Amino acid sequence: MKKIVGTLSYVGSFYKGFERQKGEMTIQGKLEEVLSILMDKEIRIKAAGRTDAGVNALGQVFAFVSDRNLDLESFRSHANRLLPPSIGITSLKEAPMSFDPRHSAKKKRYVYRFYFGEKDPFKNDTYAHLREDNFDKEVFFKALELFKGEHDFSNFTSKPSDKDNFIRNIDTLDILYAEDTKQGGILLESNGFMTYQIRFMVGEAISTARGKHTLEELKEMLIGKPRKIVSAKAPAEGLTLLEVIY
C-alpha cells in the first residue's frame, strides 16, 4: 500500500464547496469520481481542509491510498483529462503512510482578492467586487491590521466549539493595493483558520469602512466575551487557499 499526496487547484464558483455532499456538485465528489474510474475501485480522499462554496484554491492538498504501483505523472495527466476545466491536479507524489493532509499541516496561507470600480466579468470567479461609494479605504486597511497577531476569534466563526478556545494567531497579514488598477489582495497566514473566519474578518472590515461601526467597536468584537457572532461575511469568490505548509 502506498500513500499518494496531491496538490489541487480549482475555481470554486461552480461547486457547492469542497466536501462531498449527496446530490450536490462538489470538488471532492468530482475528484473521487475521476480517481475511482482510473483505479477501477472506489477511492476516498482526505484533504487539508474544506473550502466553502465559491472559495478557490491554488494549493489544496489531498491524499489517498493506492494498492498499485503508479506512474504518477501519467496518472496525473489522465486524471486532468477527465476532470472538468475548473479543477486541476498540479502535482502527485508518494508520502509516508503516516502523513495526514490535515493533521500534518503546520500553517495555511490564503489570499483575499478584491477590486473597486466598474464590474469586470473576467474577475467574477476570483475577486470580490466592492463598491467604492461610501467606502473609506484607509479605515478598511486599519481595520484589517487589527486582526494581526493572537486573538480570541470566537465572534468571527460559526464553529460551535473549539478545543483551543477559538484562539488563533495570524502570523502574516499583508495588504497590497494599487490605486491605478483599483485592485488588491490581503495575504493571511496562520496555524489555523476556522469556519468562515477570513470571510467574517474581511466582511467586518468592509462594514467598518462603510461607517457601520468604528474601529474601537471592531476591537471590542475581538475580545470575544460574551460571544456574539458577527454577521458581515465577505463574498466567497475573493478567497483563495494558496498553500498548505508542512
pLDDT tens digits for range 162-210: 888 899 999 999 999 999 999 999 999 999 999 999 999 999 999 999 9
What's the chain's average pLDDT?
A: 96
- Cell 483529462 maps to which residue? 81
Q: Are the beta carbons of 28 and 45 closer than 8 angstroms?
A: yes
pLDDT of residue 160: 92
Look at the pTM and tell me if it is higher than 0.85: yes
Residue 134 class from Cβ within 10 Å (0-12 exposed, 13-18 middle, 19+ buried)?
Answer: exposed
Interval 209-213 mean pLDDT: 96
pLDDT of residue 225: 80
Which residue among the candidates 40, 52, 71, 180 is catalytic per the annotation? Answer: 52
Q: Which CATH architecture has domain 107-245?
A: 2-Layer Sandwich (3.30)
100-132 burial: b if 16+ Cβ within 10 Å, else e: ebeebbebbbbbbbbbbeeeeeebeebbbbbee
Look at residue 211 and tell me whether its pLDDT is greater than 90.
Answer: yes
Distance from C-alpha of 35 to C-alpha of 86, rounded to nearest angstrom: 16
2-95 maps to which CATH number? 3.30.70.580
Q: Are the beta carbons of 76 and 89 closer than 8 angstroms?
A: yes
Interval 50-78 mean pLDDT: 96
Provide the percentage of residues in the chain whose pLDDT is more than 90. 95
- Cell 470554486 maps to which residue? 12
Look at residue 224 and tell me whether its pLDDT is greater than 80.
Answer: no
pLDDT tens by residue, 81-129: 999 999 999 999 999 999 999 999 999 999 999 999 999 999 999 999 9
C-alpha closest to that of 245 among 4, 7, 44 = 7
| Per-domain boundaries in the chain | 2-95, 107-245
Q: Residue 3 forms beta bridges with which residues?
A: 65, 95
The grid cell for 8 is 489541487
- Is 67 in the active site? no
Q: How far is CA 59 from CA 19, 134, 188, in A?
A: 16, 35, 14
Helix/strand/coil (H/E/C) assignment for every residue in 103-124:
CCCCEEEEEEEEECCCCCHHHC
